[in-house]
Amino acid sequence: MRRLVAALLVLAALGGALGALVGVRADLAEFLPAGRSPASAFLFRELQSGAATTLLLAGIEGAEPAELARVSRETAAGLRASGRFDFVGDGTVTIDEGEQALLFRYRYLLSPETQPEAFSAAALRPKLEALLEGLRSAASPLLARFGFADPTGAFLGLARAFLAESRLEVRDGAWFAREGPPRALLIARARGGAGLDAEAQGQAVATFRTAFEAARPGGARLLLSGPGVFASEAARSIRADVRLITLASGGLLAAFLLWRYRSLLLLGLVAVPLAAGTIAGFAVTALVFGGKVQGIALGFGMTMLGVTVDYPILLASLRRAEEGLDAAARRIWPTLRLAAASAATGLAAMLGSGFPGLVQLGIFAGTGLLVAAATTRWVLPWLVPGARIAARPLPGPIRAALGLLRGRPRLAGGMVLGAGLLLAALGGPSWQRDLAALSPVPREAQALDGELRHQLGAPDVRVLFALGPGTEAEVLAASERLAEAVAPLLGTAPERLQPGRDPPGGPADATGPQGKAASSAPGTGGALDAIDLPSRYLPAEATQRARQSALPSPEAAQAALAEAMAGLPFRPTAFAPFLAALGESRALPPLTAATLAAEAPTLAARLSPLLSRRGEAVQGVALAQGVRDPAALAAVAQRLGDPRILFIDVKAETEGLLDAYGRATLLWALAGGVLVLGLLALGLRSPGRALRVAGPIGGSLLVTLAVLTLLGEALTLFHLASLLLLAGLAIDYSLFLAGDATDDTVGAILNCVVSTLLTFGLLAFCQTPVLHGIGLTVSIGVASAFLLACALAPRPHPHA
């Protein structure tokens, strides 16, 4: 007894030290493979550290709209003052005077309208007529201010392109959601254009919360979302979820074992192999993976090792009255050894999956299983040599029911056949192809993110092009080539800021609702609605220089203007500011991302998510919106054959990736199954007996798949891993029940089954998709495996 307590203390100390030494990684991206194609490699790098990681979306609700607007404005002011954010959007976004001046100064270098022929008398004439007509309209104050320095409308077109999201409703200087209860909306981009690590993300989230609290929110609530929130806060809530489940299931398990065995000693015995296995698994995984263990692998691995409570329970229950624990351990060891080795072999299938998270899991659980079995064989008898623990006999009705079930192979066969037919009728198991379902982020958090994204009009990234890597000039040039190639697929021509055709008619032109440069009415038959390109905001250096050389000389401009003005009521000096601006524009150094960031941070914030610096190289991204025909876009990229333009269909890419890994895992699982069969045949010295032992295992897998499919669960990699775990458990039951099983054996196995159900059954009620999937799979599987193994077990001797 003293040895047992000492052992538990040593294990606790070891576990604590290991936990402090080894770092646990929390982000899903690290759990995922690095990607096999260039497209998936880019995608996962973006997920891990791309510009998307800097985005925070927020809603404020639970008060009167006016109060919400105040809190929103003050929160935004606090965020801007913190200096941690590149961009804060809250509805008060306007281009301030300084930024306006920069845009105005560079208008002829930035505007796609700058062409040599645009400054001929013939081209200027309609512009001047349109200006005159605009001056008659309600927009005259605006045009009187800008029109004479910019009669071609280059500046207003640019301003409109930059202020893209004024489609949102503004009340009292704050953005509001159009539908639902009043909710003020904010969007913020944390500093660090090329992406943030988890720690910096956490700091940005904390800054946001502080700014909100400083705005004296009263009863208003802050809803915050974005990758940073997922990484820091969702992970914490999952940990809390797991801890609660662990405590609850631990309590239930302890109560059950106490009821069955009336022995505190047994609880100690159960804890030792579990703790030893967990610590060994953790240590080996950390050793293999350079000192880091993925959080999901750790959590899931520990859950999987919950099955090792079976070993001490079997040891204690199967001890015969006259035996010592050591003798019992020696007697059951061949079976126990075979069971543990087979289960570990099954888990080894995960090593071949190529999915880093699953490989970690396989190593963790496999090592843990073997160590727990060894601990049960050699350590437990030494810790409590004189232990006399015996289970209570099973209650009569249960024993009678189990007795009736035994020796009915036809019943078992019918059950498996039925499951197979059901599965066939349902069209086989459905495979989860959505990456979000693998995410450890709870569903509500994902739903909130989707809702805020929708309300804020943030792009829902489905189809994108990766541009580069290369120098800034090269990436922007690639972006321009793409713009040209995609243009025919848009509903209307891209990047046409049409001050001539659609004269600056309304006051809306200042920050008009038609923000997207390349937008068109949906449904005009194009392959896509719009594409957001870095070159839309910042043309390549070569393009800017070409535009400079397209500008006319002062004399030529003067002459063209005089001809165009003939007969119109403009005073001769009216356009002096325009002529001066043309001269100034020819001498400007081309605008770069660095200048834009330094002089116009609000404008730069438009560009930064699309153009980021990674060390020496620059990486661009183009986001397509309202895509109706992804194949047409893929064809564009293929036709271009440009090494700096890569088409990525995010959904297809992740689906393909998950499919590939699913298939690989399935193949490896099959291979593992064959290996296990071989091992069983070797251990049992008879292929026939091996098949009989394997029967309930295969059968329970089939039944589980059928039930899961019937419940509408789409299978993920985690379900597959759970099935492997299940196979490991079923081996125990099958092996121990296959021999001349006494009622005691059946009772011992039943205790194991109930213990497992108590642990995994609770997981099925978890909100985290992964944990829910594991819990459900194992619970169904364990119950069916036990029933099948019972039915296949020989009928008991009359007086056993």
**Can you give the binding site for other proteins, defined by CB under 8 A?**
91, 94, 132-133, 135-138, 140-141, 144-145, 148, 166, 169-173, 502, 505-508, 510-514, 569-571, 573-575
Interhelix angle 717-738/650-684, rounded to 10 degrees, is: 10
The amino acid that residue 176 corresponds to is F
User: Measured in Å, how far apart are the chain's first and last C-alpha atoms?
Assistant: 33
Question: For other proteins, which is the closer residue by CB, 93 or 389?
Answer: 93
Question: For other proteins, which is the closer residue by CB, 128 or 350?
Answer: 128
Whether the CB-CB separation of 792 and 695 falls below 8 Å is answered with yes
CB of 560 to other proteins, least distance (A): 18
CB of 456 to other proteins, least distance (A): 16
Question: For other proteins, which is the closer residue by CB, 136 or 799?
Answer: 136
CB of 607 to other proteins, least distance (A): 22
Whether the CB-CB separation of 481 and 645 falls below 8 Å is answered with yes
Question: For other proteins, which is the closer residue by CB, 571 or 685?
Answer: 571
Question: For other proteins, which is the closer residue by CB, 168 or 749?
Answer: 168
CB of 517 to other proteins, least distance (A): 16
CB of 21 to other proteins, least distance (A): 56
CB of 175 to other proteins, least distance (A): 10
Q: Which of 85, 347, 336 shows the shortest CA–CA distance to 190?
A: 85
CB of 573 to other proteins, least distance (A): 8
Instruction: In whole angstroms, give the CA distance from residue 536 to residue 513.
Output: 18
Question: For other proteins, which is the closer residue by CB, 508 or 681?
Answer: 508
- Token readout for 701 is 């897998």
Interhelix angle 687-710/769-792, rounded to 10 degrees, is: 140
- Token readout for 425 is 């009728």
User: What distances in angstroms separate CA 653 from CA 434, 460, 571, 609, one per listed residue?
Assistant: 11, 15, 61, 21
Q: Which of 113, 69, 108, 109 shows the shortest CA–CA distance to 92?
A: 69
CB of 144 to other proteins, least distance (A): 5
User: What distances in angstroms separate CA 364 from CA 301, 358, 662, one per listed residue?
Assistant: 6, 10, 20
CB of 138 to other proteins, least distance (A): 5
Q: What are phi and psi of 263, to 5 degrees?
A: -150, 120
User: What distances in angstroms separate CA 590 from CA 365, 538, 579, one per listed residue?
Assistant: 59, 10, 20
Q: Characterise 171 by phi-psi region: left (phi > 0), alpha (psi -120 to 50), beta (else).
A: beta
Bond before 504 cis per omega within 30 degrees: no
Q: Which of 61, 313, 33 shows the shortest CA–CA distance to 176?
A: 61
DSSP summary character for residue 472: H
Question: For other proteins, which is the closer residue by CB, 166 or 612?
Answer: 166
Question: For other proteins, which is the closer residue by CB, 569 or 615?
Answer: 569
Whether the CB-CB separation of 321 and 382 falls below 8 Å is answered with no
Number of neighbouring beta carbons within 10 Å of residue 569 = 8
Question: For other proteins, which is the closer residue by CB, 289 or 575?
Answer: 575
Question: For other proteins, which is the closer residue by CB, 146 or 355?
Answer: 146
Question: For other proteins, which is the closer residue by CB, 186 or 304?
Answer: 186
- Token readout for 604 is 């730069």
The amino acid that residue 53 corresponds to is T
CB of 563 to other proteins, least distance (A): 18
- Token readout for 48 is 């891990």
CB of 571 to other proteins, least distance (A): 6
